[in-house]
């Protein structure tokens, strides 16, 4: 018996519901195009979509690299010093009350309309999830590991490097997986504010020309790319962290 992946079932149900709404409500194509029309327009503009998707993917990957590295290093620094962590972590939590999207115009003003502002936006949106997940793993040590560190007279740096960080790697992996989902959002938001390339820019261009089908094609490419990145990250992390752990 062939086992159909749940993701394909969900995609088929979503497309079926979408087509059903188009059949029943019969909205104008510029309001809600059919899946077939979106697929047709996407194929006709495949070169354009691939070109702009490559720009967005580059911004996402650079933002992921920057945000994950800074978030992980910040988590280690805060976990190493309890006093510093008790002061800085509440401040970082408070910063999450400010919508990250509202910072996109400021980043564009500071870093310009090029790729830098989009990379910073993607890094900023994933920084806290990575830091929070890794910091939680570093500070929640099982009693057995804490006792082992005490019995072996391990210095704080040794305990951090040899016990706490290895124990917290699954938590870091969870934060990294979340980052792969959120990073494309940050890059596209940055492109909406100001850009001359990327899927976000192409969506704005299509919207200005009432090409709703092309907008949906951009969304489809973005969704497929995000899911592919997430699945690839999950596959790699599951083998690097849990199988080696």
- Which of 29-33, 43-47, 98-102 is modeled with the greatest confidence? 43-47
| Structure token pair of residue 109 | 């003003």
Q: What is the average pLDDT score of the chain?
A: 86
Q: Find all residues with CB under 8 Å of 115, minimum gap 6, and list them.
A: 55, 58, 59, 62
Per-residue pLDDT of 135-155, as tens digits, reads: 988 888 776 666 566 656 666
pLDDT over threshold 90, residue 199:
yes
| More confident: 243 or 6 | 6
The CATH number of domain 47-242 is 1.10.3720.10: yes
The upper half-sphere exposure of residue 55, i.e. CA atoms within 13 Å in the direction of its Cβ, equals 21
Nearest 5°: CA angle at 231, between 227 and 236? 150
| More confident: 162 or 176 | 176
- Whole-number pLDDT of residue 245: 47
Per-residue pLDDT of 205-229, as tens digits, reads: 998 888 999 999 999 999 999 999 9
Q: 122: closest CA among 189, 187, 175?
A: 187
State pTM to two decimals: 0.87
Per-residue pLDDT of 229-240, as tens digits, reads: 999 999 988 888
The beta strands (E) that lie in the chain are given as none
- Whole-number pLDDT of residue 95: 77
pLDDT over threshold 70, residue 30:
yes
CA R_g for the chain:
22
What is the rounded average pLDDT of the residues 70-92? 85
Sign of CA dihedral 190, 191, 194, 196: positive
- Whole-number pLDDT of residue 144: 64
Alpha-carbon distance of 36 to 213, in angstroms, equals 10
- Whole-number pLDDT of residue 94: 79
| More confident: 199 or 107 | 199
Q: What are phi and psi of 4, to 5 degrees?
A: -85, 130
């Amino acid at each position: 018996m062939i086992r159909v992946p749940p993701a394909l079932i969900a995609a088929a149900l979503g497309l079926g519901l979408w087509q059903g709404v188009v059949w029943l409500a019969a909205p104008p194509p510029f309001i809600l195009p059919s899946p077939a029309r979106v697929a047709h327009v996407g194929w006709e503009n495949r070169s354009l979509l691939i070109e702009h998707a490559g720009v967005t993917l580059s911004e996402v990957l650079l933002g992921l690299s920057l945000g994950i590295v800074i978030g992980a290093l910040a988590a280690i620094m805060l976990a190493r010093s309890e006093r510093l962590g008790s002061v800085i972590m509440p401040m970082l939590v408070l910063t999450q009350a400010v919508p990250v999207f509202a910072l996109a115009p400021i980043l564009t003003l500071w870093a310009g309309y090029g790729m830098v502002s989009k990379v910073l936006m993607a890094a900023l949106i994933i920084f806290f999830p990575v830091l929070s997940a890794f910091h939680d793993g570093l500070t929640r040590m099982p009693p057995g590991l804490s006792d082992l560190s005490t019995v072996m007279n391990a210095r704080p740096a040794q305990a951090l490097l040899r016990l706490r960080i290895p124990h917290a790697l699954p938590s870091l992996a969870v934060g990294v997986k979340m980052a792969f989902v959120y990073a494309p959002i940050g890059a596209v938001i940055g492109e909406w504010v100001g850009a001359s390339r990327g899927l976000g820019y192409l969506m704005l261009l299509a919207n200005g020309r009432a090409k709703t089908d092309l907008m949906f094609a951009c969304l489809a490419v973005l969704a497929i790319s995000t899911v592919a990145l997430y699945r690839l990250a999950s596959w790699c992390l599951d083998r690097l962290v849990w199988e080696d752990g």
